[in-house]
């Protein structure tokens, strides 16, 4: 655990300039808080008044809870921020701050004076030191990618390049940065291309094993091919999803809620290009100009308890929605993990073009994040 200001002293000249970069006024929108969280990676936003006094805080967890309750990113931060945030005085000893973090299961604590003037922030140093995780990371890479042909005539979809690297390599690198070292890749269509590129994973600083489908088994069926099931909770991701979510936080969230299956989900908005008219027989009862409809979509990333595999039969085709429905019918806890981070599902040529313009993957794109 170190001071936020100490962590960033090379990038910023003064402590004040740093806390202002993670601060928002109470009239700001939730999407502004998301932008700060994604940009800084510091997992906290300070809600302040014009004089730099703390009004409250927003964490990544606050945003996810808000999304679950139907809050929109265009709503005010006043709907979700903590007005009675835990704070500490500057004189508090390091050991005491650490105990407070452990007791309250938090990773950040603002430092304030007696009038709540912000002086800094303490945070748990997960940015420099990544805890290694023994959990398996399973990547479903057997699909044929028919919608991306002719690009997938000679390459499996997860091997298509984004910013000079295969999609699959981006997934592995991101998971490795989150502490994962043990990977299983499910392969079918042109699977030898994947095997020849990644081999045992040692070149990439990880260990890779393979599940080989004799026929297409869907997005979940390959999990039935384990000779010995995983001994602890594990992550599953589609091999065509590039995202900035923390796989480590996903599995921690899954464990916290004692779930058998957790599905990462994302809010999706579609705007009707026309004005809609509500009627009752011949009479107009209402009108809405170009309404926006909201839905929650499957993001293709999951966490499971090993017991979830008991619902699968060896070599039986099964998709993830079917697996979750089986678990739900057995009254087993299946939950969602709302995500706001960057997420791209590469199913079509336009998606591939979009992925190649993601700034942090391809800085030369010239597009601002």
Q: How confident is the model over 288-333, as pLDDT tens digits?
A: 888 777 778 999 999 999 999 999 999 999 999 999 999 999 999 9
What percent of the chain shows pLDDT beyond 90? 43
Do the Cβ atoms of 287 and 278 come closer than 8 Å? yes
pLDDT winner (highest mean) among 176-180, 255-259, 356-360, 365-369: 255-259
How many residues belong to the chain? 369
The model scores a pTM over 0.85:
no
The span from the CA of 262 to the CA of 181, in Å, is 21
C-alpha distances in Å from residue 32, one per residue of 46, 106, 200, 297, 361: 12, 22, 42, 22, 22
Position 359 confidence tier, pLDDT thresholds 50, 70, 90: low
Q: Which domains does the chain have, with CATH numbers?
A: 8-123 (3.10.580.10), 133-363 (3.90.550.10)
How confident is the model at residue 367, as a pLDDT? 30
How confident is the model at residue 9, as a pLDDT? 33
Q: What are the φ and ψ backbone dihedral angles of 282, each rounded to 5 degrees?
A: -85, -10
């Amino acid at each position: 655990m170190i001071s936020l200001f100490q962590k960033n002293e090379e990038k910023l000249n003064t402590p004040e300039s740093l806390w202002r970069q993670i601060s928002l006024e109470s009239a700001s929108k939730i999407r502004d808080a998301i932008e700060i969280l994604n940009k800084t990676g510091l997992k906290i936003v300070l809600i302040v008044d014009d004089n730099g006094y703390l009004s409250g805080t927003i964490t990544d967890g606050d945003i996810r809870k808000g999304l679950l309750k139907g809050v929109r990113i265009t709503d005010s931060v006043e709907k979700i921020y903590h007005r009675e945030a835990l704070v500490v005085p500057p004189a508090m000893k390091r050991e005491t701050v650490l105990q407070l973090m452990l007791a309250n299961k938090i990773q950040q604590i603002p430092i304030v004076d007696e009038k709540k003037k912000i002086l800094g922030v303490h945070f748990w140093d997960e940015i420099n030191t990544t805890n290694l995780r023994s959990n398996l990371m399973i990547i479903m890479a057997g699909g044929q990618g028919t919608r991306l042909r002719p690009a997938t005539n000679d390459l499996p979809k997860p091997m298509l390049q984004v910013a000079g690297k295969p999609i699959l390599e981006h997934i592995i690198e991101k998971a490795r940065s989150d502490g994962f070292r043990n990977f299983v890749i499910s392969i079918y269509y042109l699977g030898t291309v994947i095997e020849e590129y990644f081999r045992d994973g040692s070149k990439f600083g990880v260990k890779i094993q393979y599940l080989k489908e004799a026929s297409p088994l869907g997005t979940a069926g390959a999990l039935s091919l384990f000779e010995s099931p995983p001994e602890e909770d594990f992550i599953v991701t589609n091999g065509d999803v590039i995202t900035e979510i923390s796989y480590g936080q996903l599995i921690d969230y899954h464990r916290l809620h004692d779930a058998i299956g957790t599905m990462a989900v994302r809010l999706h908005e579609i705007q009707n290009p026309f004005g809609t008219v509500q009627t009752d027989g011949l009479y107009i009862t209402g009108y809405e100009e170009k309404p926006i409809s909201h839905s929650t979509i499957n993001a293709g990333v999951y966490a499971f308890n090993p017991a979830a595999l008991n619902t699968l039969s060896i070599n039986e085709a099964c998709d993830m929605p079917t697996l979750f429905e089986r678990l739900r019918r057995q009254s087993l806890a299946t939950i969602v993990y709302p995500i706001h981070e960057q997420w791209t599902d590469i199913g079509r040529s336009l998606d591939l073009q979009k992925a190649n313009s993601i700034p942090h993957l391809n800085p030369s794109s010239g597009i601002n994040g």
